[in-house]
């Protein structure tokens, strides 16, 4: 079913189609293809789904629903699954031709054109918990491991080139910077580490500053992403969003949602790094100015999801379109995937919201209209 609704959110309108994996399968990972014409999702059932936009010149848009795509042989990309406490992860190659993915079992390399599993590697334990392609060679990947280490792995030759040790708990985030020639990692220990890409030696580390009055759960994931300048680092944790400056990890800014909102579930830079899209447990999505972390818009759950459903629904993953800075996609706890963008007449996400008594961002609830 394709729905088209409008909502008031600091003079912004959300127009959203719904497309879903299954009503009972959570989305664990979500990304646009690098071309911007498709969305790839990985469910907690270890099955991948790919949606492609056929019209609109193959460009993703909220005004036209995409089509679920799979090859003519009907094969699905299904990971080797571990029933334990797995952290699903995947990474697409730059040309969208190959996917490396894991769901607690062996890591798999897939051909994205045919969905064929080309090889498996690194059987657990310990399991892969995050994966990122090395920017200078698609045959090399950095793999975060459940045992707190990082493997620099050559897929072609099936060998571990280096093993990096510096975290105290499982690794949950990895990001490369070609400008600084470094790898930044993050873990469930709420620690960030900087590694030289020349010798794979640790250059710096820093623990997140947990806000006063907030308690971090023992296995809370920390994710990292580089700004477009490949110098500033976005760190995403359940208690906060923070900006650091690499390579020394100089702490710059922090945004903490009000306690009534619940924890941060995910966040990402827009493709031009001018905005940050952040989702929280009350189901809302915040649009922040990247340089100041000042809120500009808040999109409530009611604006994009029917409010008459009693089950607790909220986004757990968020992905930014690779070339359209005002478009992003949400993966929900019920398996739904939404594409959201402001209307063409508005063009961007609102104005800066005022603060309530200086205590935090004001809450302008979006009201859905027929």
Domains of the chain: residue spans and CATH: 6-369 (2.130.10.10)
Nearest to 4 by CA among 13, 16, 12, 22: 16
- Asked if residue 125 has a cis previous peptide bond (ω within 30° of 0), the answer is yes
**Mean pLDDT, rounded, for 304-316:** 77
Question: Over 70: is that where the pLDDT of 14 sits?
Answer: no
Looking at residue 360, what is its pLDDT? 34
Please list, in sequence order, all residues whose beta carbon lies within 8 angstroms of the beta carbon of residue 123, skipping any fewer than 6 positions away: 105, 106
Instruction: Calculate the CA 302 to chain-centre distance.
Output: 22
Instruction: Calculate the CA 204 to chain-centre distance.
Output: 24
Averaged pLDDT of the chain = 86
CA angle 44, 46, 50 (to 5 degrees): 100
Nearest to 352 by CA among 302, 300, 293, 299: 293
Please list, in sequence order, all residues whose beta carbon lies within 8 angstroms of the beta carbon of residue 291, skipping any fewer than 6 positions away: none
Looking at residue 361, what is its pLDDT? 32
Looking at residue 205, what is its pLDDT? 98
Looking at residue 159, what is its pLDDT? 95
pLDDT digits (tens, 9 = 90+) for 78-106: 999 986 778 999 999 999 999 999 999 99
Question: What are the two backbone dihedrals, phi and then psi, of residue 303, each rounded to the nearest 5 degrees?
Answer: -75, -25
Instruction: Calculate the CA 185 to chain-centre distance.
Output: 15
Alpha-carbon gap, residue 221 to 243, rounded angstroms = 16
Looking at residue 342, what is its pLDDT? 84
Looking at residue 56, what is its pLDDT? 64
Bridge partners, 241 (sequence order):
236, 255
269 in Cβ contact with 225 (< 8 Å) = yes
What's the length of the chain?
Answer: 370
Could you give the C-alpha distances from 176 to 109, 210, 233, 265, in angstroms and in order?
A: 20, 25, 10, 22
Bridge partners, 138 (sequence order):
none
Residue 128: CB atoms within 10 A of its CB come to 29
């Amino acid at each position: 079913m394709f729905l088209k609704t409008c909502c008031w959110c600091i003079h912004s309108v959300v127009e959203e189609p719904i497309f879903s994996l299954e009503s009972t399968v959570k989305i664990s990972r979500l990304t646009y293809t690098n071309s911007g014409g498709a969305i790839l999702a990985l469910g907690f059932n270890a099955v991948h789904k790919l949606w492609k936009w056929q019209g609109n010149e193959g460009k993703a848009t909220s005004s036209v629903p995409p089509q679920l795509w799979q090859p003519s042989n009907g094969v699905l990309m299904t990971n080797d699954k571990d029933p334990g406490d797995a952290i699903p992860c995947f990474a697409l190659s730059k040309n969208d031709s190959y996917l490396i993915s894991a769901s607690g079992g062996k890591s798999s390399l897939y051909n994205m054109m045919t969905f064929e599993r080309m090889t498996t590697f690194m059987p657990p334990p310990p399991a892969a918990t995050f994966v990122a392609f090395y920017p200078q060679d698609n045959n090399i990947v950095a793999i975060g491991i459940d045992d707190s280490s990082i493997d620099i792995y050559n897929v072609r030759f099936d060998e571990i080139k280096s093993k990096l040790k510096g975290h105290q708990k499982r690794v949950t985030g990895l990001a490369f910077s070609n400008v600084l020639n470094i790898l930044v990692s993050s873990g469930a220990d709420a620690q960030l580490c900087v590694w030289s890409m020349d010798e794979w030696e640790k250059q710096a580390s820093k623990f997140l500053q947990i806000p006063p009055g907030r308690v971090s759960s023992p296995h809370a994931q920390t994710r990292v992403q580089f700004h477009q300048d490949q110098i500033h680092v976005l760190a995403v944790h359940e208690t906060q969003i923070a900006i650091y400056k690499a390579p020394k990890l100089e702490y710059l800014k922090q945004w903490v949602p009000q306690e009534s909102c619940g924890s941060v579930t995910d966040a990402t830079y827009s493709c031009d790094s001018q905005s940050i899209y952040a989702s929280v447990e009350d189901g809302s999505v915040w649009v922040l100015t990247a340089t100041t972390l000042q809120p500009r818009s808040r999109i409530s759950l009611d604006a994009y999801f029917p409010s008459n459903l009693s089950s607790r629904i909220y986004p757990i993953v968020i992905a930014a379109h690779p070339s359209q800075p005002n478009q992003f996609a949400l993966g929900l706890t019920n398996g739904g995937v939404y594409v959201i963008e402001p209307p063409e007449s508005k063009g961007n996400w609102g104005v800066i919201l005022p603060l309530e008594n200086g205590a935090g961002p004001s809450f302008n609830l979006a009201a859905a209209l027929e």
